């Protein structure tokens, strides 16, 4: 089946015009209708998902990928998440920076939807529902392009969503799915600048790079985290061990997990072996620099760091350890190797805290806490569409407000510029 | 002379690390030193500019272009503008959205410099100083690429600026100029994503399109305004005439000047001839639709609108006029043809005002005022780096705050994620 991307774009744009006039209550009603429809339609959705799972197994997908793909037992939770989005405050329509200029012009800014979002993601079908709910809540139309492994699940989910929208007299083209798995449609979506206002890639480095290289539409780059913790000689070592362990092992497959531990030289002989001992119990393997290597007993799970290891997002139970003389060297390492996602210091020295916070320029900078908190839910946004590691528009976890823009409203009484 | 863009990038990045630690007062002192240096160095600068002017005349540049290029008699004003930037409040360092989460984590956001800006512009050498001052004030390093016609002027200005920075013990590479006019360096700058965080093109449509198509760095698209005013049957016609005239003739060469006038059918027979009569006195020529044509006496400066006329930014004393049945048709025309820069309604009907403000999605939406106010200075920003017509990061006039981003600062007491 071929897809007419121009038509998808036109339809999305037209839907976005209607969406921006809907009240918060109308949008919330549609969200609740979607939640109900997901529950009512679960047989159809789970049957489609079972087919995707069967195909995935036959193709030899890894257990981790199959787990992401699986909707069995998860639909009720997904429906609840949609109801939760309905409960969140609506940023659209909020006015700010009101002022009356000396010439009498009345100026204000108003939060408005961005318009049309293009979201490109990989195996997880729950993202389909998540993204649709966040887009609708903020009055945006969305064109979705999910992974090919989960196409049947996505078709079933999007048909369910569009059915609910139709019953609520919402424009059904507010949510559209690219139903052809051909990769050229990703490229075409990235060039649809006449209709699409923002591209959000959710996936690995290759996807983000492809989007940055090929898009004529602004792209939110993010989700790639080479994260650091620096432990200095004043740190509470017992607390530091707990934070390092949490940052590395609590969920190693995600972007805010720890990749490289930097340890101040003066405590390395004592602290590095303690880290290795503690995290070995969790099955962690280590890539360590020469200084760390020298203070460790030989062990199967400890190897010398190789070229590129400091620039690797492990997404696995692997931890890089490097010994540095001082804070300057730690900051220098972070500047050279961080992706600007989440980096932290563990210290009891107020001057070191302040310098780290001032000089490390990452989306999230931590003092005495695990990097795992870089998450919209954890930081109180209520929801999260992405984690941005670029500097423009939004940085770090992006919630509902980051799916809006603003317009200037300027009212006069026949004002002309002198 | 060839330029090593990698080196420019590395130097800019290194300078940006130093810049972000400077206090407001230190930055302001550097700005005042630049203003003094511009005055002290005026002979050298004006001599370089005179050479550019002579070359430009020999090459047959238009009087308008030569006027933009000319610094004669303007340097004192340019130096004053730099002092004015020193007086403006510094957005960097401001903290906001402070909160303590239920788990005790202390969270806040802090405004920080973006890092390194790449600014690509055309003939005006005053932009060189403008941009350098705004970048320094906000702690950003900048790589400048001005038009080849003004290369000697730009070299003299940038050397003056860097001299002042050096005397103030500022990193001189905070301001760098690409001194080779070869266009391939524009392309290379757009691919320098390792070092450059934001691209600001200041120029015509072709430059903006080139940047969007080729940049791997986020681009601020803007400065292209196909602007509309809609006059409905309730409007105060005398006031409307004054506003239309101001929007069209006060400075026709700029992006916020009026391009297309939409007139409600019920008043067209009366109002359209009045507009044509009034603006003919200013030398305006008209491209009008069939209905407007029929209510006008034949005249040399009135011709039927041709294909593409509604999609043309005139930048000249030309005005399109179209008669529309009602507000719906006006909004539809604006959606189809506006670049989302500045669009307004002239009316006394509150319902029409509200619908226009709600449904027209432009960076600046006007009620009973000239579109010429879309300008950082006019709207109280104190300065302007660009006018954005895209939806991300900033919309409409961009001042100092829009040259910053934010980071999350998260402080705990050994917090781990459960």
Sign of CA dihedral B253, B258, B260, B266: negative
Is B216 touching A (CB cutoff 8 A)?
Answer: yes
Is B362 touching A (CB cutoff 8 A)?
Answer: yes
Question: Rounded to whole angstroms, what are the CA distances from B274 to B236, B238, B294, B307, B327?
Answer: 13, 9, 14, 25, 21
pLDDT tens digit at each of 418 positions of chain B: 678 999 999 999 999 999 999 999 999 999 999 999 999 999 999 999 999 999 999 999 998 889 989 999 999 999 999 999 999 999 999 999 999 999 999 999 999 999 999 999 987 899 999 999 999 999 999 999 999 999 999 999 999 999 999 999 999 999 999 999 999 999 999 999 999 999 999 988 899 999 999 999 999 988 889 999 999 999 999 999 999 999 999 999 999 999 999 999 999 999 999 999 999 999 999 999 999 999 999 999 999 999 999 999 999 999 999 999 999 999 999 999 999 999 999 999 999 999 999 999 999 999 999 999 999 999 999 889 999 999 999 999 999 999 999 999 999 999 999 9
Looking at residue A1, what is its pLDDT? 61
What residues in B contact A101, CB-CB < 8 Å? 378-380
Q: Flag if B379 and A101 touch (Cβ within 8 Å).
A: yes
Encode pLDDT of A154-166 as tens digits.
Answer: 999 999 999 999 9
Residue A249 has pLDDT above 70, yes or no: yes
* Residue B354 burial by Cβ neighbours in a 10 Å radius (0-12, 13-18, 19+): exposed
Looking at residue A216, what is its pLDDT? 94
Two structure tokens written together for B42: 């005026």
Encode pLDDT of A18-33 as tens digits.
Answer: 999 999 999 999 999 9
What residues in B contact A341, CB-CB < 8 Å? none
Encode pLDDT of A341-381 as tens digits.
Answer: 999 999 999 999 999 999 999 999 999 999 999 999 999 99
Q: Flag if A373 and B105 touch (Cβ within 8 Å).
A: yes
How close is the nearest chain A Cα to the Cα of B389, in Å?
10
- Substitution target in B412, B413, B418 with the highest count of A β-carbons within 10 Å is B412
Q: Are the C-beta atoms of B237 and B273 separated by less than 8 Å?
A: no
What residues in B contact A408, CB-CB < 8 Å? 363-365, 374, 379, 395-397
For the stretch A189-194, contacts whose Cβ atoms lie closer than 8 Å and that sit 24 or more positions apart, written own/partner, are A189/A5, A189/A118, A189/A120, A189/A143, A189/A145, A190/A118, A190/A214, A190/A215, A190/A216, A190/A217, A191/A215, A191/A216, A191/A217, A192/A5, A192/A6, A192/A8, A192/A9, A192/A118, A192/A143, A192/A217, A193/A217, A193/B212, A194/A9
Is B348 touching A (CB cutoff 8 A)?
Answer: no
- Substitution target in B102, B391, B418 with the highest count of A β-carbons within 10 Å is B391
CATH fold, domain A227-373, is: Aldehyde Dehydrogenase; Chain A, domain 2 (3.40.309)
Is B361 touching A (CB cutoff 8 A)?
Answer: yes
CATH fold, domain B5-221+390-411, is: Aldehyde Dehydrogenase; Chain A, domain 1 (3.40.605)
Q: Flag if A378 and B409 touch (Cβ within 8 Å).
A: no
- Nearest CA to A140 among A411, A410, A405, A357? A405
What residues in B contact A366, CB-CB < 8 Å? 410-412
Q: Are the C-beta atoms of B72 and B47 separated by less than 8 Å?
A: no
What residues in B contact A346, CB-CB < 8 Å? 414
The ipTM is 0.95
Is B359 touching A (CB cutoff 8 A)?
Answer: yes
Closest partner CB to A391 (pick from B114, B378, B395):
B114
Two structure tokens written together for B300: 């040399």
Looking at residue B1, what is its pLDDT? 61
Q: Let me know how many helices (H) and strands (E) chain A has, helices first.
A: 14, 16
Looking at residue A223, what is its pLDDT? 80
Closest partner CB to B368 (pick from A395, A414, A417):
A414
Q: Flag if A369 and B411 touch (Cβ within 8 Å).
A: yes
Closest partner CB to B239 (pick from A212, A408, A414):
A414
Looking at residue B7, what is its pLDDT? 97
Closest partner CB to B243 (pick from A369, A390, A414):
A414
Q: Flag if A368 and B411 touch (Cβ within 8 Å).
A: yes
- Nearest CA to A285 among A306, A255, A254? A306
What residues in A contact B250, CB-CB < 8 Å? 416-417
Residue A200 has pLDDT above 80, yes or no: yes
Q: Flag if A416 and B361 touch (Cβ within 8 Å).
A: no
**For residues A286-295, average pLDDT:** 97
How close is the nearest chain A Cα to the Cα of B48, in Å?
34
**For residues A326-348, average pLDDT:** 97
Helix (H, G, I), strand (E, B) or coil at A409: strand
* Cα A276 to Cα A299: distance, rounded to the nearest angstrom: 10
- Nearest CA to A215 among A239, A180, A191? A191
Is B51 touching A (CB cutoff 8 A)?
Answer: no
Q: What is the pTM of this model?
A: 0.94
Looking at residue A382, what is its pLDDT? 87
What residues in A contact B370, CB-CB < 8 Å? 412, 415-417
Closest partner CB to B409 (pick from A115, A242, A365):
A365
Q: Flag if B363 and A408 touch (Cβ within 8 Å).
A: yes
Is B166 touching A (CB cutoff 8 A)?
Answer: no
- Substitution target in A242, A410, A412, A413 with the highest count of B β-carbons within 10 Å is A410
- Taking CA–CA distances from A362, the nearest residue in chain B reads B407
Q: What residue segments make up the domains of chain B, in order of their start?
A: 5-221+390-411, 227-373
């Amino acid at each position: 089946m071929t897809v007419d991307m121009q038509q998808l774009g036109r339809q999305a744009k037209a839907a976005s015009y209607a969406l921006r006039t809907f009240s918060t209550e109308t949008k919330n009603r549609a969200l609740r209708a979607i939640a109900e429809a997901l529950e009512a339609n679960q047989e159809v959705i789970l049957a489609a998902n079972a087919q995707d799972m069967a195909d995935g197994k036959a193709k030899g997908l890894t257990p981790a990928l199959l787990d992401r793909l699986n909707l069995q037992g998860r639909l009720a939770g997904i429906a609840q998440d949609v109801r939760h989005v309905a409960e969140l405050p609506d940023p659209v329509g909020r006015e700010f920076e009101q002022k009356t200029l000396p010439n009498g012009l009345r100026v204000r800014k108003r939060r408005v939807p961005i318009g049309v979002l293009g979201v490109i993601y990989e195996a997880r079908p729950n993202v389909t529902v998540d993204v649709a709910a966040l887009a609708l809540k903020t009055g945006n139309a969305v064109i979705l392009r999910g992974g090919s492994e989960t196409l049947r699940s996505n078709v079933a989910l999007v048909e369910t969503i569009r059915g609910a929208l139709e019953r609520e007299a919402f424009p059904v083209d507010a949510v559209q799915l690219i139903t052809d798995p051909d990769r050229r449609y990703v490229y075409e979506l990235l060039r649809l600048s006449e209709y699409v206002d923002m591209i959000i890639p959710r996936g690995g480095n290759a996807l983000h790079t492809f989007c940055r290289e090929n898009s004529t539409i602004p792209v939110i780059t993010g989700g790639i985290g080479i994260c650091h913790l620096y432990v200095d000689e004043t740190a509470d070592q017992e607390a530091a061990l707990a934070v390092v362990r949490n940052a590395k092992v609590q969920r190693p497959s995600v972007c805010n997990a720890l990749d490289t531990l930097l340890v101040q030289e003066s405590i390395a002989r004592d602290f590095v072996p303690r880290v290795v001992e503690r995290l070995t119990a969790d099955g962690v393997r280590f890539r360590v620099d020469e200084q760390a290597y020298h203070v460790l007993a030989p062990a199967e799970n400890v190897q010398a760091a190789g070229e590129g290891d400091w620039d690797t997002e492990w997404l696995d139970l692997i931890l890089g350890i490097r010994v540095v003389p001082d804070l300057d060297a730690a900051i220098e390492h972070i500047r050279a190797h961080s992706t600007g996602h989440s980096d932290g210091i563990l210290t009891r020295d107020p001057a070191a805290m302040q310098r780290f916070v001032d000089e490390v320029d990452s989306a999230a900078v931590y003092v005495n806490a695990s990097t795992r908190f870089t998450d919209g839910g954890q930081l109180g946004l209520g929801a999260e569409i992405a984690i941005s590691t670029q500097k423009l528009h939004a940085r770090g976890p992006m919630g509902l407000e980051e799916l809006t823009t603003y317009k200037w409203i300027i009212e006069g009484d026949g004002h002309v510029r002198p």
